């Protein structure tokens, strides 16, 4: 399965990608997670990406494409991948196509998770992330059992620096301008599926799986 998840910040890409990766036994590749980890480690990549991520701007395409080329070259991607947060620009999408064409592969589907702006801001303002294992929580919909503590590993929960309201609004603006055009890009290739992102995590997951089953039965395997 080679799947791309599109959707505005807070649409639920990361939440669903974790589940889909388990379901299809392929790696979950989140450029946002890779960048945040690099920033945390203080690597060269982290130093170059930090100011963009903090302000909710896109990291330059060249840097992202280098990162993806390296990631796709690892053995665990042979059976496929779930892309979360990549591609985000037409240039990134074309870059991904070139990388796949070089190994005679193509995308099976690009699923766009649709959500309205009010619920995006609400969800992201209430998101908390484990500083140790990275698990996602939501104070409104998926709170931890014990306040401020990760249910899985006992790590402390933090708010992402780019989850402040003004940065959220900026990230949504950037998404509308730079990433929404990818829907037409993938529609024209016949691989786009739009899925309603409202409802519970389980409901949205089932919609995505159903849309993938449709896509595969249309000959997208």
Task: Give residues 122-151 in contact with ligand AP5 (rule: CB under 6 A).
Answer: 123-124, 127, 136, 138, 141-142
- Give SS3 for 123: helix
Q: Is residue 88 annotated as part of the catalytic site, yes or no?
A: yes
DSSP lists the bridge partners of residue 84 as 5, 30
**Marked catalytic residue, from 160, 164, 183, 187:** 160
When CB distances to ligand AP5 are compared, the closest residue is 32
- Give SS3 for 190: coil
Looking at 4-12, 37-45, 146-154, 188-196, which segment touches ligand AP5 (CB under 6 A)? 4-12
Cα separation of 183 and 190, whole Å?
A: 10
Q: Spell out, one character per residue from 161 to 200, where the chain touches ligand AP5: x when CB under 6 A holds, - when not.
A: -x--------x----------------------------x
CB 36 within 8 A of CB 30: no
Task: Give residues 76-105 in contact with ligand AP5 (rule: CB under 6 A).
Answer: 85-86, 88, 92
Angle at 123 (CA atoms; ends 179, 160), nearest 5 degrees: 80
Cα separation of 195 and 124, whole Å?
A: 19
Q: Is residue 177 annotated as part of the catalytic site, yes or no?
A: no
200 or 218, CB closer to ligand AP5? 200
Cα separation of 56 and 186, whole Å?
A: 24
CB 98 within 8 A of CB 44: no
CB 35 within 8 A of CB 148: no
Looking at 20-28, 37-45, 121-129, 150-158, which segment touches ligand AP5 (CB under 6 A)? 121-129
68 or 192, CB closer to ligand AP5? 68
Instruction: Find the Cα–Cα–Cα–Cα dihedral 72, 94, 211, 12, rounded to 10°.
Output: 70
- Our finding on whether 52 is near ligand AP5 (CB under 6 A) is yes
User: Which residues of the chain form contacts with ligand AP5 (CB under 6 A)?
Assistant: 7, 9-15, 31-32, 35, 52-53, 56-59, 64, 85-86, 88, 92, 123-124, 127, 136, 138, 141-142, 162, 171, 200-201, 204
For the annotated catalytic residues, the residue numbers are 13, 88, 127, 160, 171
């Amino acid at each position: 399965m080679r799947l791309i998840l599109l959707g505005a910040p807070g649409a639920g890409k990361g939440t669903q990608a974790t589940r889909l990766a388990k379901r299809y036994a392929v790696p979950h590749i989140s450029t946002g997670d890779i960048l945040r980890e690099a920033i945390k480690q203080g690597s060269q990549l982290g130093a170059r990406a930090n100011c963009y991520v903090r302000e909710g701007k896109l990291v330059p395409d060249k840097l992202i494409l280098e990162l993806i080329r390296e990631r796709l070259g690892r053995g665990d991607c042979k059976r496929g991948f779930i892309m979360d947060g990549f591609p985000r620009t037409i240039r990134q999408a074309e870059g991904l196509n070139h990388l796949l064409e070089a190994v005679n592969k193509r995308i099976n589907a690009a699923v766009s998770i649709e959500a309205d702006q009010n619920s995006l801001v609400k969800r992201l303002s209430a998101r908390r992330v484990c500083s140790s294992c990275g698990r996602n929580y939501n104070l409104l919909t998926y709170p931890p059992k014990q306040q401020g503590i990760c249910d899985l590993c006992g790590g402390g929960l933090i708010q992402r620096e780019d989850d402040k309201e003004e940065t959220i609004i900026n990230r949504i603006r950037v998404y509308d301008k730079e990433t929404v055009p990818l829907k037409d890009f993938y529609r024209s290739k016949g691989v786009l599926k739009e899925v309603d992102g409202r409802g519970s995590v389980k409901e949205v997951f089932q919609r995505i799986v159903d849309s993938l089953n449709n896509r595969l039965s249309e000959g997208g395997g």
